[in-house]
Chains A and B, each alone.
Chain A
Amino acid sequence: MTNNSYFPEGSELERFVKRRRQKGVIWRSLFLLATTLGVIILMVLLLSIIDDSLGYAAVQYKIDPHEMVVGFYQDMALNASNARAFDDADELARALGEHPDAVGLLDEATFRAHADDLRAVSIEDGELPGVVVAVSQQNDWLQSVTMQELAPLFTIAETWSDVREGWPETPVHRYLPPAGSPVLTTFIAGVYGDDPAQQPVEALLAMLAQHLSPGALRQFVAEKPLDQRTQEEALGILAERVLEPTVIETWSLSQSILHKDEIEAAMAQTPDAELEFRRWVTWDFITSPQSSKPELAGVRTAIIGSLWVVLITLLFSVPVGIGAAVYLEEYGSGSRLDQFIENNINNLAGVPSIIYGMLGLAVFVRALEPLTSGSMFGLADPTTANGRTILAAGLTLGLLILPIIIINAREAIRAVPRAFREASYGLGATKWQTIWHHVLPNAIPGILTGSILAISRAFGETAPLVVVGASTAIFVDPNGPFSKFTTLPIQIYQWTSRPQAAFQNLAAAAIIVLLALLLALNAVAILLRNKYQRSY
C-alpha cells in the first residue's frame, strides 16, 4: 500500500498547511476585531458618562459665598476694640503717623505720600498685593509679622502681647479703611480666605447665626448643639439655607477643557453667576435624599429603594429558582407536564420585561393588594395605601429573573459529575442525601454566579417598575417592604427627562453610582465563586 500517494507531499504539503494556517489567522483577526469593537464601545460609553459627571457649572447664589465670608470678617475687624474706620485715606495716614501703638491698612499710593511718618511692616510668609500694613515711624519694635499673626491682630487681639510674646502690653489700635473698600476686601481675602470651605467651624457657625432667621437657628441648635457640629454640617446648612446656590448652566468635562473661552464668554453675560468646577459624584450626592433642587438632590433614597427591592427579589427568586431547578433536574420524570413546564421556563426567559410589569401590576399590586400593601398584617404605610410597594416590585422582578435563575441552576446541577452521584448512591445514600450533600454543594458556584448575574439584571431594570408604580418623586427613605419606593434606574430615567441642566449631570453621576454598585455585585459573585470553587 502506498501511503503517500493519497496525501499531499513536498511543496504541495507546505502550501496546504499554509492555507490551513491562514484560515486560522483570518478567523483570529475577526475575533480580535469583534473584541476590540466591544471594548471601544464600552470605553466610549464610560467616557461619555464620566464626561457628563465632571465639568464647569455656572452657579448663582442668593448670597455670594465670598461676600458672606468677607462681610463676616469685615464686621469683626470694624467692631474690634480700638478699631477706627476712616473714609479718607490721608486722614488715616496722618492719624496713624501720630500713634505709636496703632497699626493701619493703606493703599500703596497713600503710603508713599506719607512715607515720612509711616513705615511698612513686612509680611514674612506672604504678600497682600496693593495693601500696605503700616505703623508710625515712632514705632520702633514692629518690623515684621506673619499671616497667622495678622488674623488676630485685626480682630480678637486686645493688646500687642496677645499677638506675639515680647511685644508691648499696650492695647492695639486699628486704623481701617471703610467697609467695602478694595484695600480691606483684599486684606481679608488674603488673610482669612474668602472660600467658606476654608473657614473653621466656629466661624461658619457664627456666619450661620448672622444670616439665619432666629427661628431657623433655634431649630438648627435643637437638632444638635452647636459645639457638636462638624465643619461639613455647618457648610451644608449654610449652602442650603443661606447661600442657596442655583446651577444655571453646566458644561461637560470635554467642553470645559476644549472650549474654556466659550464658557467664559457665556459667563460674561451673567455677571452675578460664578464659574465652579464640579465633580457631580460626591459623598454628599450619595448620602443626600432626593430633592427637587438639583443642587441639593442625592441618590440615597434611590439606593436604599434599590437595595430593598433587590433584597426582596433575591429572597423570592433564588430559593424558588433553585428549588425548581432541583425538581426539574433530579425529580422530573420527563413526563408531558414536566416537558411543558420546561419549555415554558425557557420561553419565559425571553419575554420582554414590560410584560412582567403588567403581570406584577395585575397580580401583586391589584389582586394581592392586602398582602403587598401590608394591610393584611396591619403594617400598611399610611402614605402609600395601595399595593405599589417595595414588596410588589421585588416580587415582580423576582418573577422576571426566576427563569434565568432556573436555567442557570439547572445548568450548574447538570454539570456536577455523574461519578459523585454514583459514588453517593453506591454507599446507600437516598436521592435527597445525594442531592443535598453532593449535587447542590458542587453546583453552588454555578448557581451563585447565575443568580448574581440575574440579580444584576434586576438591579438595572426600569420598565416593569414603572408599570408596577415606582414613585418618581419621593423624598423619604423607604423603611420596609411596604413602603413606596424609587430605584436608581428610575431616578436616572426621571432626571434625564428634567429640563434643568444640572439634572443631566446628576443623572450621569447616578449612572456612575449604579455602575459601581453593579460592579460590586459582580465582584461579590466572582469572590463567592472562587471561594466555593472546588478542584476535582
Chain B
Amino acid sequence: MADQSSSNGHYAIEAKNLNVFYGDFHAVKDVNLTVEKNKITALIGPSGCGKSTVLRCFNRMNDLIPVARIQGDVLFHGKNIYDPDVDPVQVRRRIGMVFQKPNPFPKSIYDNVAWGAKINGFKGDLDELVRTSLEGAALWDEVKDKLDANGYSLSGGQQQRLCIARALAVRPDIILMDEPTSALDPIASLRIEELMIQLAEQYTIIVVTHNMQQAARVSDYTAFFTVDEGRTGYLEEFAPTEELFTTPRSRITEDYITGRFG
C-alpha cells in the first residue's frame, strides 16, 4: 500500500497519516488508506479498534462529536476535506452514509427518499428520482404501492434499503456503510450484500463489518484494524480481499481472520 500513496485521480478517497482523538484519548493513529473507485472496501477488526471512527472521518461526521479531534489528511479529488475552506455540508452531499441501525425519518417513504434531494436543490423530476433511487436500492417493487406509508411501517431489512435509497437519491460518489447488516437477519443481510455488489458498478463503497464471510464475499479490498497496548487503533494490514484472507502478511491478521483472536 505504501507504493500507492500518491493522490492521483485513481482513488476515490484517501486517508493520510490520519489520527483521531476523543478528548485526550488517542482513538486511531497513523492510518494510511487508499480507496479505489467503484470498488468495495471493507474495514474489519475487533470491537473498539476504531473502524467506525475512521469511517466517519471520510465524511466529517466526527464534526458532530464535540470532543473529537482529527489530525492528518483525507484527500477527496485531491483536496483535503479537513482544509479550513471546505464546507462539511458539501462533503457529506458527495459522500453519503448508511448507519448500523436503520434510521429512516418518521416521514413517508416518498419523503424519506425525496427530502435529501430537495434540500440539496434538486431541480429534476422528483417522482422519477424517487423511483430510480428505490429501484437502485432494490426496494421499488415492495413499496411502489405504498409510497405514502410511514418509513417505520417497513421491516428492518426494508428500512435499511430505504436508508440506502435515501443515500442514493443525492447521487453521491461514495457511500459509507457502518455495519449495515448487523441489525438484520441472514436473508435480509444477503439482499443488502447483493445490493452492495450491484451498487459498486456506479458507486464507491466503504463498509465496516464484523462478519468475516461478508467481507470475503462482497469486498474487493479489506483493511484490518486492531489496537495496541494503549487501546489505540491502527491499521494493521490493507490488501486486496482475496490476498488478505488467503495469505495474510501479518500474524495478527491471520489470528483474527481464523478466529483465534477477537
- Where the two chains meet, the residues of A that have a C-beta atom closer than 8 Å to any C-beta of B are 334, 417, 419-430, 433, 437-438, 442, 534-536
What residue in chain B is nearest A436 (Cβ atoms)? Answer: B119
CB distance from B144 to the nearest CB of A (A): 22
Tell me if B105 and A426 are in contact (CB < 8 A). Answer: no
> Is B163 on the interface with A (CB-CB < 8 A)?
yes
> Is B21 on the interface with A (CB-CB < 8 A)?
no
Cβ contacts under 8 Å, B96 to chain A:
426-427
CB distance from B129 to the nearest CB of A (A): 13
> Is B61 on the interface with A (CB-CB < 8 A)?
yes
For chain B, the count of residues having a C-beta within 8 Å of the partner chain is 27
- Smallest CB-CB A-B distances: 6 pairs: A428-B93, A427-B116, A419-B103, A426-B97, A534-B106, A428-B92
On whether A423 and B103 interact (CB within 8 A), knowing A428-B89, A437-B115, the answer reads yes
> Is B90 on the interface with A (CB-CB < 8 A)?
yes
What residue in chain A is nearest B87 (Cβ atoms)? Answer: A430
Tell me if A425 and B92 are in contact (CB < 8 A). Answer: yes
Cβ contacts under 8 Å, A433 to chain B:
119
CB distance from B183 to the nearest CB of A (A): 12
Tell me if A420 and B92 are in contact (CB < 8 A). Answer: no
What residue in chain B is nearest A441 (Cβ atoms)? Answer: B106
- Over the window 219-259 of chain B, the binary record of Cβ atoms lying under 8 Å from chain A Cβ atoms (1 yes, 0 no) is 00000000000000000000000000000000000000000
Tell me if A419 and B99 are in contact (CB < 8 A). Answer: yes
Measured CA separation A334–B101 after assembly (Å): 29
CB distance from A529 to the nearest CB of B (A): 15
> Is B170 on the interface with A (CB-CB < 8 A)?
yes
| Contacts beyond the supplied A428-B93, A428-B94, A429-B116: 9 A-B pairs with Cβ under 8 Å | A417-B103, A425-B64, A425-B92, A427-B120, A427-B167, A428-B119, A430-B89, A433-B119, A438-B105
Tell me if A429 and B103 are in contact (CB < 8 A). Answer: no
What residue in chain A is nearest B63 (Cβ atoms)? Answer: A425
Cβ contacts under 8 Å, A417 to chain B:
103
Cβ contacts under 8 Å, B66 to chain A:
334
Most buried by A among B61, B64, B105: B105
One of A334, A423, A430 near B105 (C-beta < 8 A): A423
> Is B166 on the interface with A (CB-CB < 8 A)?
yes
Measured CA separation A421–B63 after assembly (Å): 13
- Over the window 20-47 of chain B, the binary record of Cβ atoms lying under 8 Å from chain A Cβ atoms (1 yes, 0 no) is 0000000000000000000000000000
> Is B59 on the interface with A (CB-CB < 8 A)?
yes
One of A419, A422, A429 near B61 (C-beta < 8 A): A422
> Is B140 on the interface with A (CB-CB < 8 A)?
no
What residue in chain B is nearest A430 (Cβ atoms)? Answer: B89
Cβ contacts under 8 Å, A425 to chain B:
61, 64, 92
CB distance from B8 to the nearest CB of A (A): 26
CB distance from A295 to the nearest CB of B (A): 57
